[in-house]
């Protein structure tokens, strides 16, 4: 079906859409990774976003239930150059368009995504609306205006109602808590590699409830980074810091930073992809990281926190990507520390080590 | 970490002549390495025997040795230069093997030289099959079941225990040479014997076959601080079974899921750490079972490779430059990627386009070779195309390889007609099936035929094992073809009726105007007009390593059909340089060298250079060679699109070989100014009639000749001229379909072939002058001054293609009077043709009479060789005169005759095409060249032979078998060999002639008459040199067998008397004194200080 993307600066891109036909409104963001389209749509951190995939051919290996990061599609939509309808991979259960239709997603295709990407790079991330069929630009503009005026709702209650992992992992060397503000399947798998008992808490669990579990450490997961509900979580975390080791990941990193008193700020254009180098001054070895954030920690405000040290910057734009406070036993990584293979990502190895040292 | 300060001087090893499996990608990598090391303040010493490279330009390294790449000569260089380190990872397998053998001989240790980039241990771990397998098993990476054999018996035992089919890979062999797939015991036995023979270490891997699996490659880099980056993934369109160098490749991989991709990356990192590369790059090849995702690692190359050149060009990540910096201790975060100017090398490129690589084959040069692809590489070149989807990239790729096609069929050149495919009979279906199931260079076209004949994708997949996704993409192209055809015109001049949206979709699927015109029964120009009317213009997007995330500083461009153009045209004066496209026999690195020089000259003159080329191996397609680079096919449509955007003051067509010359007429028609010699002069040189008139006017002679369009005309002409005659098509390069014809029957066959090659151009028939001396002359002119660049005397007699002949500079047997005659004639012709730029003339000399054979008003393949020999950058000067400068002002007004000798020898791909006879003729067969340089002829000659891979003996047995008319001439040669202590073996006829003069000869039986015959002796390593001249045009079977054994066992040989003469003189020199090494810079110092040569630089 003919469809169109309208950006809040008035620029339009015409293409065709597959899936849900209603208006899809959200922040238009760039994802530069080549594979992982299904994973990105089902990642709760992308709730309400319109994701532009810069790689022009999407869907070539199809879709399968096992690639879901959570039980549903969270992204408002996906914008691509070319949708591949005849997939080829032994794991594929259906084509990507079929998957979209089945799961209530929306893909806008036939778009000059390169031009869109360059436009966003120059203008910064913008709100946009996708409309299928014959919706006028005027109506779309009106819908965008209305969306901008309304107080943004929180996706956290929805996320809590569809947890990725209903069965908590049993026992192990340590007892760890995870505050789920958008836990993904792959992050959960990574956590399991730590060989510890995992207890998952909903975003609105109270600090007292969490403390009552006598945890060895607590991890705040990734999630939607601009969600208004994160304030509550930051309050909770603030109460936990100092009593147990805390590690924030992705949006969880922003939460921990705020709990420590730092400010966060919106970036002109986010880091969304698999090729972000993180570098610690004074060290020769850095990390190539997976990132998905358009909000970052304000470095000045973080440096003001005396007991906190910035331990990793983006090598190219100097964004804060990692911090630590040994005395408060609080850590944050802005990237997503998942890795292939049986060994937990170094971030978790370090976290475990710091727990061990204290016990 | 800053660069290492404990190292001051570094030797860089080049890769030698262009051969199948090792082409100009190592000029690209070596040049980047030289530049990177100089930037860091190191003293650089370069060794490469290939003069046609940019890296051997005297300014690239501090000392440039054009010397053979063997242990002996490199040891001497090390002894003389006393470097701290050697960098072997940028010179291909040749460089790597050489470093390994330098270590084995204790040379590195003796002179305290460290191996940079890859330690000797790392090289061994990746190259030694057993060590590699053990290392991989240690880190839990799967490898195919295999065993290593040093004897046929061992191999059989291993093979039978694994089960068929099996893949055999000899150790330390480049480009998979000697590799084979075997299906039964007999084949296994045969392949084992061959493989063990050709492996320099006598080892062969017998391996479980993973034929039909997906072949996936990754490029990985690691620095000394253990930072690792993955540059790109690549997926072979042809599944395993075809050598990756022959396969069509797409980047990034198209059919991998995220978890699969992550697993590959995980394995790559593990592997590069285990191999122990700690300052460089590696290429990792995997096989993946398409049915269950199981992964095997197949091979790791701990060096820069053809794939890394492709990965580099495909992503805008200068791998060679960065690898060099890592080799001297810098870390990835410290090296800036100049393409983005904003990111460091600690960044994994991501792309927003699809890259397609396709190979160029030259089976037409070797009609006796089987036209199939397997694990031994056969491609001589490749082209890379970029599109916004696979279909666009595929079709652009197919027109980039310049096989006369304009996309995936539908261009009027399909060998199976649409009518036949509409109702295919069983025979046709069977033929198509055969072409699908056995890999070959035309398979992609047969996929189209199969689809058009109604064969389902599933069946095509079952036959070819090509992934369904690729097949489905081709199906979409065929569907589009059918949609276009619905708007077919009745008359060829009717207006184009194709609707705008369909036209746009066709262009987005990569259809060329030519294809659309064919489908619409229209003309290319009309489609172009229709496109312009509907404002469907090509736009240019960037190769920027980051998918648009950063505003790249020095990106390059590709065309597509989208909404917004990102080209960065300027208002400055600029010139478009047309490159040479994919390497092929007859058009190789020499032309790329010239194109690069054109770009350098433009920079010196303050004019912007715009390069158009599609060859990912070259220096010309490096991001920093020109001001702007367009990675595009070299067809008139694609070039006009660029010219419309760039609006240059002119186009240079002289340097890219025949490719741009063939476009000159169309460009002139389109009103595009061509710099230098006019298109009309080009036409005079190419048009026999006009050329003859010119020679008559100038009082020069040429062999009697005529032109013909039909066989009858040709027959009449040949009768008039008298046999033997030389027949050839006009407007071709490399002597394609050229042949010396002795009678009418043969003539008929060749006319048919020549007509196919020549198209609408006529066929040329010349009197063939037997036993003449052939001469090549390059001339540079500015319209008023004309200077001879060099007079090259061929060592072989006339009749052998000038690209295959050995040549010497200065001439060595020609009288001064004749040389002056040559100079005068050359300058006269240059003046008459009003040459502005370069011109090449070929002459034959017989009985002190001079015949003009041909004139090429463009840079020839000898230009880089002469430039190196005389120390004058001819191509650069030629560019400047094309821009209006005068030779007088540039300081080059006098021919430079060097007081030393430079010899060019050719290198042949015979070992890749079993069953092909090795004799030389008027059709060019060589892939590359080497230069031998020394103070006298015999030393220079012997160096050229050694550099070309002829392992000339100092003692041992020589086998002689010559045709009757050579028996007199061979006597002196054999006498000399005998005096030097060689034992002489011959067949009865030759032996009789030799014995009569009192030479001791061991007579060997004819092959059919008894054993041990010469073949047995060769197998046993008892023959060290073979002199064998062919008996006639149709050689005797015995001879062919002898010559094919020579290739199989790598025995030095010569097939001409003049070649034998020079070889024997060379051996004499070799015995008497050892060979010295001297850098080019020192030779150039010998050129008289006041001569033009010095000033011109």
pLDDT digits (tens, 9 = 90+) for B270-309: 999 999 998 999 999 999 999 999 999 999 999 999 999 9
Arithmetic mean of pLDDT, B773-793 = 96
Q: What percent of chain B has pLDDT over 90?
A: 73
Tell me if chain B has a CB within 8 Å of the CB of A32: yes
Beta pairing, strands B556-560 & B574-578: unpaired
Distance CA B131, CA B332 (A): 28
CB contacts, 8 Å: B260 with chain A: 89
Tell me if chain A has a CB within 8 Å of the CB of B212: no
Distances (CA, A) of B420 to B395, B454, B490: 23, 12, 21
CB contact under 8 A, A56 and B353: yes
Contact residues, A window 133-162, toward B, CB-based 8 Å cutoff: none
Q: B529 Cβ partners below 8 Å, 6+ apart?
A: B496
Tell me if chain A has a CB within 8 Å of the CB of B265: yes
Q: CA of B954 to nearest chain A CA: how many angstroms apart?
A: 54
Using one digit for the tens of pLDDT, what is the confidence trace for B566-595?
999 899 999 999 999 999 998 999 999 999
Beta pairing, strands B204-208 & B166-170: antiparallel
Distance CA B1081, CA B1075 (A): 18
Q: CA of A354 to nearest chain B CA: how many angstroms apart?
A: 24
* CA of residue B550 relative to chain centroid, distance: 35
Tell me if chain B has a CB within 8 Å of the CB of A117: yes
Contact, A79 vs A116, CB < 8 A? yes
Contact residues, A window 323-352, toward B, CB-based 8 Å cutoff: 339-341
The Cβ of residue B968 has, within 10 Å, a number of other Cβ atoms equal to: 11
Q: Is the pLDDT of residue B175 over 60?
A: no
Query: Both tokens of residue B942?
Result: 């012997």
CB contacts, 8 Å: B258 with chain A: 35-36, 38-39, 67
CB contacts, 8 Å: B553 with chain A: none
CB contacts, 8 Å: B224 with chain A: 284
Arithmetic mean of pLDDT, B604-618 = 97
Please tell me which of the candidates A56, A273, A286 has its beta carbon nearest to residue B346.
A286
What's the pLDDT score for residue B764? 82
CB contact under 8 A, A115 and B564: yes
CB contact under 8 A, A35 and B256: yes
Query: Both tokens of residue B287?
Result: 């096989």
Q: How sure is the predictor about B1, in pLDDT bands with cuts at 50, 70 and 90?
A: low
Using one digit for the tens of pLDDT, what is the confidence trace for B840-869?
999 999 999 999 998 999 999 999 999 999
Tell me if chain A has a CB within 8 Å of the CB of B227: yes
Distances (CA, A) of B227 to B14, B266, B281, B336: 27, 14, 12, 15
Distance CA A225, CA B1089 (A): 72
Distance CA B488, CA A138 (A): 41
The Cβ of residue B569 has, within 10 Å, a number of other Cβ atoms equal to: 17
Q: Where are the beta strands (DSSP E) in B165-314?
A: 166-170, 180-182, 204-208, 214-222, 228-236, 249-251, 280-288, 295-301
Tell me if chain B has a CB within 8 Å of the CB of A56: yes
Tell me if chain B has a CB within 8 Å of the CB of A281: no
Q: How sure is the predictor about B432, in pLDDT bands with cuts at 50, 70 and 90?
A: very high
Q: How sure is the predictor about B712, in pLDDT bands with cuts at 50, 70 and 90?
A: confident
Q: What percent of chain B has pLDDT over 70?
A: 96
CB contacts, 8 Å: B266 with chain A: 339-341
For residue A65, count CB atoms less than 10 angstroms from its CB and return exposed for 0-12, middle for 13-18, buried for 19 or more. exposed
Which of A16, A59, A69, A115 to mutate to test binding with chain B, by most B CBs within 10 Å of its CB? A115
Tell me if chain A has a CB within 8 Å of the CB of B229: yes
Tell me if chain A has a CB within 8 Å of the CB of B364: no
Please tell me which of the candidates B292, B347, B469 has its beta carbon nearest to residue A86.
B469
Tell me if chain B has a CB within 8 Å of the CB of A90: yes
Which of A4, A28, A40, A61 to mutate to test binding with chain B, by most B CBs within 10 Å of its CB? A61
Q: A25 Cβ partners below 8 Å, 6+ apart?
A: A50, A76, A127, A128, A129, A130, A143, A144, A147
Using one digit for the tens of pLDDT, what is the confidence trace for B333-370?
999 999 999 899 999 999 999 999 999 999 888 887 88
Model ipTM over 0.90: yes
H or E stretch at A352: helix A346-358
Please tell me which of the candidates B228, B252, B548 has its beta carbon nearest to residue A114.
B548
CB contact under 8 A, A34 and B351: yes
What's the pLDDT score for residue A167? 57
Residues linked to residue A18 through DSSP beta bridges, in sequence order = A107
Please tell me which of the candidates B257, B344, B467 has its beta carbon nearest to residue A91.
B257
CB contacts, 8 Å: B227 with chain A: 284-286, 288
DSSP assignments along A132-195, one per residue:
ESS--HHHHHHHHHHHHHSPPPPSHHHHHHS-S--S-----SSEEEEEESS--HHHHHHHHTT-
Please tell me which of the candidates B224, B261, B347 has its beta carbon nearest to residue A277.
B347
What's the pLDDT score for residue B1094? 38
Tell me if chain A has a CB within 8 Å of the CB of B350: yes
* Of A280, A273, A346, A350, nearest in space to A313 by CA: A280
Residues linked to residue A249 through DSSP beta bridges, in sequence order = A333
Which of A4, A31, A32 to mutate to test binding with chain B, by most B CBs within 10 Å of its CB? A32
For residue A97, count CB atoms less than 10 angstroms from its CB and return exposed for 0-12, middle for 13-18, buried for 19 or more. buried
Q: Is the pLDDT of residue B815 over 70?
A: yes
Q: How sure is the predictor about B710, in pLDDT bands with cuts at 50, 70 and 90?
A: confident
* Of B943, B900, B907, B703, nearest in space to B805 by CA: B907
What's the pLDDT score for residue B731? 64
Please tell me which of the candidates B348, B469, B548 has its beta carbon nearest to residue A88.
B469
Using one digit for the tens of pLDDT, what is the confidence trace for B231-245?
999 999 999 989 999
What's the pLDDT score for residue A168? 58
The Cβ of residue B308 has, within 10 Å, a number of other Cβ atoms equal to: 28
* CA of residue B391 relative to chain centroid, distance: 26
Tell me if chain B has a CB within 8 Å of the CB of A89: yes
Residue with tokens 């594979």: A35
Arithmetic mean of pLDDT, B777-802 = 93
Check residue B240 and report its DSSP letter.
T
* Of B695, B733, B725, nearest in space to B707 by CA: B725
CB contacts, 8 Å: A184 with chain B: none
Q: Is the pLDDT of residue B458 over 70?
A: yes
Q: CA of B549 to nearest chain A CA: how many angstroms apart?
A: 6
Q: A51 Cβ partners below 8 Å, 6+ apart?
A: A29, A31, A40, A41, A75, A77, A78, A79, A272
* Of B228, B231, B163, B152, nearest in space to B193 by CA: B152
Lowest mean pLDDT among B288-302, B575-589, B682-696, B748-762: B748-762
For residue B1035, count CB atoms less than 10 angstroms from its CB and return exposed for 0-12, middle for 13-18, buried for 19 or more. middle
Q: pLDDT digit of tens for each residue in chain A (359 aa)?
A: 999 999 999 999 999 999 998 999 999 999 999 999 999 999 999 999 999 999 999 999 999 999 999 999 999 999 999 999 999 999 999 999 999 999 999 999 999 999 999 999 999 999 999 999 889 999 999 999 999 999 888 999 999 887 776 555 667 889 999 999 999 999 999 999 999 999 999 999 999 999 999 999 999 999 999 999 999 999 999 999 999 999 999 999 999 999 999 999 999 999 999 999 999 988 999 999 999 999 999 999 999 998 999 999 999 999 999 999 999 999 999 999 999 999 999 999 999 999 998 76
Arithmetic mean of pLDDT, B480-490 = 96
Which of A51, A189, A285, A314 to mutate to test binding with chain B, by most B CBs within 10 Å of its CB? A285
Q: Is the pLDDT of residue B906 over 90?
A: yes
Tell me if chain A has a CB within 8 Å of the CB of B141: no
Using one digit for the tens of pLDDT, what is the confidence trace for B33-69?
999 999 999 999 999 999 999 999 999 999 999 999 9
CB contacts, 8 Å: A275 with chain B: 347-350
In this structure, which long-range contacts are made by residues B462-467, counting pairs with CB atoms below 8 Å and at least 24 apart in sequence?
A: B463/B433, B463/B436, B463/B437, B464/B239, B464/B436, B464/B437, B464/B439, B465/B211, B465/B212, B465/B239, B465/B241, B466/B237, B466/B238, B466/B239, B467/A88, B467/B214, B467/B237, B467/B239, B467/B254, B467/B255, B467/B290
Please tell me which of the candidates A33, A56, A285 has its beta carbon nearest to residue B227.
A285
CB contacts, 8 Å: A67 with chain B: 257-259
Q: CA of B276 to nearest chain A CA: how many angstroms apart?
A: 16
What's the pLDDT score for residue B146? 86
Query: Both tokens of residue B611?
Result: 């390069």
Arithmetic mean of pLDDT, B161-184 = 80
What's the pLDDT score for residue B120? 85
Please indicate whether residue B718 or residue A32 has the higher confidence score (pLDDT): A32
Q: CA of B343 to nearest chain A CA: how many angstroms apart?
A: 6
What's the pLDDT score for residue B744? 84
Q: How sure is the predictor about B1093, in pLDDT bands with cuts at 50, 70 and 90?
A: very low
Q: Is the pLDDT of residue B77 over 50?
A: yes
CB contacts, 8 Å: B469 with chain A: 60, 84, 86-88
CB contact under 8 A, A55 and B342: no
Please tell me which of the candidates B258, B263, B351 has its beta carbon nearest to residue A55.
B351
Tallying the residues shown for chain B, one arrives at: 1097
Give the SS3 label for residue A285. coil
Tell me if chain A has a CB within 8 Å of the CB of B263: yes
Query: Both tokens of residue B43?
Result: 């003293």
Lowest mean pLDDT among B165-169, B218-222, B913-917, B981-985: B913-917
Chain A residue with CA closest to B476: the answer is: A86
Distance CA B839, CA B834 (A): 10
What's the pLDDT score for residue B386? 98
Using one digit for the tens of pLDDT, what is the confidence trace for B532-548?
999 999 999 999 999 99
Q: CA of A272 to nearest chain B CA: how many angstroms apart?
A: 10
Beta pairing, strands B381-387 & B574-578: unpaired
Lowest mean pLDDT among A88-102, B693-707, B1005-1019: B1005-1019
Contact, B543 vs B321, CB < 8 A? no
Residue with tokens 């080892």: B203
CB contacts, 8 Å: A121 with chain B: 548-551
Q: How sure is the predictor about B756, in pLDDT bands with cuts at 50, 70 and 90?
A: low
């Amino acid at each position: 079906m003919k469809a169109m993307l309208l950006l809040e600066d008035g620029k339009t891109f015409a293409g065709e859409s597959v899936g849900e036909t209603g208006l899809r409104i959200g922040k238009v963001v760039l994802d530069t990774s080549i594979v992982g389209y299904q994973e990105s749509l089902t990642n709760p951190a992308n709730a309400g976003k319109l994701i532009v995939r810069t790689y022009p051919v999407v869907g070539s290996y199809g879709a399968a239930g096992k690639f879901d990061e959570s039980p549903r599609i969270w992204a408002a939509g996906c914008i691509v150059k070319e949708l591949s309808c005849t997939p080829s991979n032994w794991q594929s259960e259906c084509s990507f368009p079929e998957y979209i239709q089945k799961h209530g997603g929306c893909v806008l295709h036939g778009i000059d995504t390169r031009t869109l990407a360059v436009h966003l790079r120059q203008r910064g991330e913008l709100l946009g609306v996708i409309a299928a069929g014959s919706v006028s630009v005027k109506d779309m503009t009106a819908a965008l205006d209305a969306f901008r005026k309304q107080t943004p709702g929180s996706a956290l209650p929805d996320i809590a109602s569809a947890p990725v992992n209903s069965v908590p992992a049993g026992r192990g060397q340590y007892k760890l808590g995870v505050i789920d503000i958008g836990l993904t399947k792959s992050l959960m798998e990574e956590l399991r590699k730590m060989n510890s008992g995992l207890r998952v808490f909903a975003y609105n669990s109270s600090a007292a409830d969490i403390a009552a579990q006598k945890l060895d450490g607590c991890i705040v997961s990734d999630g939607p980074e601009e969600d208004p509900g994160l304030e509550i979580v930051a309050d909770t975390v603030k109460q936990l810091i100092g009593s147990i080791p805390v590690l924030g990941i992705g949006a969880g990193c922003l939460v921990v930073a705020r709990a420590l008193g730092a400010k966060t700020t919106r970036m002109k254009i986010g880091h969304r992809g698999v090729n972000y180098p993180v570098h610690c001054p004074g060290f020769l070895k850095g990390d190539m990281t997976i990132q998905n954030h358009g909000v970052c920690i304000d470095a000045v405000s973080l440096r003001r926190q005396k007991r906190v040290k910035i331990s990793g910057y983006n090598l190219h734009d100097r964004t804060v990507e990692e911090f630590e406070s040994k005395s408060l036993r609080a850590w944050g990584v802005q990237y997503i520390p998942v890795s292939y293979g049986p060994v937990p990502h170094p971030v978790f190895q370090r976290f475990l080590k710091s727990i061990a040292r204290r016990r | 970490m800053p660069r290492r300060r404990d190292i001051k001087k570094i030797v860089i090893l080049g890769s030698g002549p262009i051969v199948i499996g090792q082409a100009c990608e190592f000029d690209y990598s070596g040049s980047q390495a030289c530049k990177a090391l100089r930037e860091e303040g190191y003293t650089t010493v370069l060794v490469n025997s290939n003069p046609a490279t940019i890296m051997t330009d005297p300014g690239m390294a501090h000392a440039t040795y054009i010397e053979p790449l063997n242990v002996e000569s490199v040891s001497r260089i090390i002894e003389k230069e006393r470097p701290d380190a050697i960098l072997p990872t940028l010179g291909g397998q040749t460089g790597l093997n050489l470093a390994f053998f330098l270590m084995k001989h204790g040379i590195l240790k003796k002179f305290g030289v460290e191996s940079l980039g890859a330690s000797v241990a790392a090289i061994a771990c990746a190259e030694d099959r057993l060590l590699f397998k053990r290392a991989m098993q240690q880190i839990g990476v799967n490898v195919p079941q295999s065993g290593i054999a040093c004897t046929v018996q061992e191999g059989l035992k291993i093979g039978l225990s694994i089960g068929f089919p099996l893949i055999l890979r000899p150790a330390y062999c480049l480009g998979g040479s000697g590799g084979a797939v075997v299906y039964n015991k007999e084949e296994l036995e045969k392949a084992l014997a061959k493989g063990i023979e050709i492996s320099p270490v006598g080892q062969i891997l017998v391996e479980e076959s993973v034929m039909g699996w997906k072949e996936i490659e990754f490029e990985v880099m690691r620095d000394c601080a253990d930072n690792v980056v993955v540059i790109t993934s690549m997926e072979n369109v042809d599944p395993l079974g075809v050598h990756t160098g022959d396969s069509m490749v797409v980047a990034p991989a198209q059919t991998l899921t995220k978890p699969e991709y992550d697993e590959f990356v995980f394995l790559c990192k593990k592997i590069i750490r285990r191999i122990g590369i700690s300052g460089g790059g590696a290429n990792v090849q995997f096989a993946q079972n398409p049915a269950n995702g199981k992964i095997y690692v197949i091979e790791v190359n701990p060096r820069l490779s053809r794939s890394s050149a492709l990965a580099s060009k495909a992503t805008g990540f200068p791998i060679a430059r960065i690898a060099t910096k890592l080799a001297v201790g810098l870390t990835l975060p410290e090296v800036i990627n100049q393409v983005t100017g904003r990111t460091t090398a600690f960044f994994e490129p991501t792309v927003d386009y699809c890259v397609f690589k396709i190979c160029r084959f030259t089976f037409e040069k070797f009609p006796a070779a089987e036209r199939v692809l397997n694990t031994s590489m056969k491609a001589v070149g490749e082209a890379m195309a970029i599109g916004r989807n696979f279909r666009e990239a595929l079709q652009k790729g197919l027109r980039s390889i310049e096989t006369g096609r304009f996309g995936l069929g539908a261009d009027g050149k399909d060998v199976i007609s649409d009518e036949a495919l509409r109702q295919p009979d069983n025979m046709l279906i069977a033929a198509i099936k055969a072409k699908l199931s056995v890999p070959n260079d035309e398979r992609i076209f047969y996929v189209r035929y199969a689809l058009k004949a109604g064969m389902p994708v599933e069946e095509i997949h079952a036959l070819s094992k090509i992934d369904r996704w690729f097949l489905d993409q081709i199906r979409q192209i065929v569907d589009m073809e059918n949609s276009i055809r619905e708007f077919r015109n009745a008359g060829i001049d009717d207006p184009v009726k194709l609707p705008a949206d369909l036209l746009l979709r066709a262009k987005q699927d990569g259809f060329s105007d030519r294809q659309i015109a064919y489908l619409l029964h229209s003309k290319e120009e009309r489609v172009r007009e229709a496109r312009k009317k509907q404002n469907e213009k090509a736009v240019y997007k960037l190769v920027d390593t980051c998918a648009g995330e950063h505003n790249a500083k020095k990106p390059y461009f590709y065309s597509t059909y989208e909404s917004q153009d990102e080209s960065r045209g300027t208002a400055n004066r600029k010139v478009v340089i047309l490159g040479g496209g994919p390497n092929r026999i007859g058009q190789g690195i020499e032309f790329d060298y010239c194109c690069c020089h054109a770009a350098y000259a433009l920079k010196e003159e303050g004019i912007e250079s715009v390069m158009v080329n599609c060859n990912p191996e070259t220096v010309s397609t490096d991001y920093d060679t020109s001001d702007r680079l367009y990675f595009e096919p070299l067809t008139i449509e694609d070039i006009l699109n660029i010219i419309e955007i760039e609006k240059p003051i002119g186009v240079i067509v002289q340097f890219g070989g025949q490719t741009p010359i063939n476009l000159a007429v169309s460009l002139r028609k389109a009103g595009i100014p061509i710099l230098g010699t006019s298109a009309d002069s080009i036409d005079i040189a190419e048009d026999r009639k006009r050329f003859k008139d010119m020679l008559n006017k100038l009082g020069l002679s040429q062999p009697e000749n005529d032109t013909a369009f039909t066989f009858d005309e040709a027959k009449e002409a040949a009768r008039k001229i008298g046999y033997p005659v030389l027949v050839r098509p006009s407007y071709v390069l490399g002597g394609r379909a050229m042949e010396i014809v002795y009678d009418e029957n043969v003539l008929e066959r060749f006319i048919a072939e020549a007509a196919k090659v020549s198209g609408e151009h006529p066929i040329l028939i010349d009197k063939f002058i037997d036993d003449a001396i052939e001469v090549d002359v390059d001339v540079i002119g500015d319209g008023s001054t004309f200077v001879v660049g060099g007079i090259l005397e061929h060592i072989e007699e006339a009749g052998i293609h000038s690209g295959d002949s050995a040549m010497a500079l200065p001439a060595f047997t020609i009288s001064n009077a004749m040389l002056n005659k040559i100079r005068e004639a050359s300058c006269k012709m240059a003046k008459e043709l009003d040459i502005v730029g370069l011109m090449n003339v070929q002459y034959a000399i017989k009985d002190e009479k001079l015949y003009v054979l041909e004139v090429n008003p463009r840079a020839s393949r000898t230009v880089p060789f002469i430039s190196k020999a005389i120390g004058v950058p001819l191509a650069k000067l030629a560019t400047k005169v094309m821009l209006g400068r005068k030779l007088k002002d540039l300081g080059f007004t006098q021919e430079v005759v060097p007081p030393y000798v430079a010899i060019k020898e050719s290198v042949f791909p015979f070992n890749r095409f079993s069953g092909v006879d090795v004799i030389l003729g008027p059709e060019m067969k060589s892939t590359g060249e080497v230069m031998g340089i020394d103070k006298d002829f015999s030393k220079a000659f012997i160096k050229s032979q050694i550099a070309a891979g002829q392992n000339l003996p100092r003692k041992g047995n020589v086998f002689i078998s010559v045709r009757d008319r050579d028996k007199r001439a061979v006597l002196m040669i054999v006498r000399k060999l005998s005096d030097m202590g060689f034992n002489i073996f011959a067949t009865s006829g030759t032996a009789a002639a030799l014995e009569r003069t009192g030479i001791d000869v061991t007579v060997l039986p004819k092959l059919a008459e008894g054993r041990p015959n010469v073949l047995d002796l060769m197998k046993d390593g008892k023959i060290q040199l073979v002199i064998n001249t062919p008996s006639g045009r149709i050689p005797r079977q015995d001879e062919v067998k002898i010559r094919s054994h020579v290739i199989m066992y790598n025995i030095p040989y010569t097939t001409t008397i003049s070649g034998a003469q020079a070889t024997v003189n060379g051996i004499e020199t070799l015995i008497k004194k050892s060979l010295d090494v001297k850098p080019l810079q020192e030779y150039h110092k010998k050129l008289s200080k006041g001569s033009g040569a010095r000033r011109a630089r």
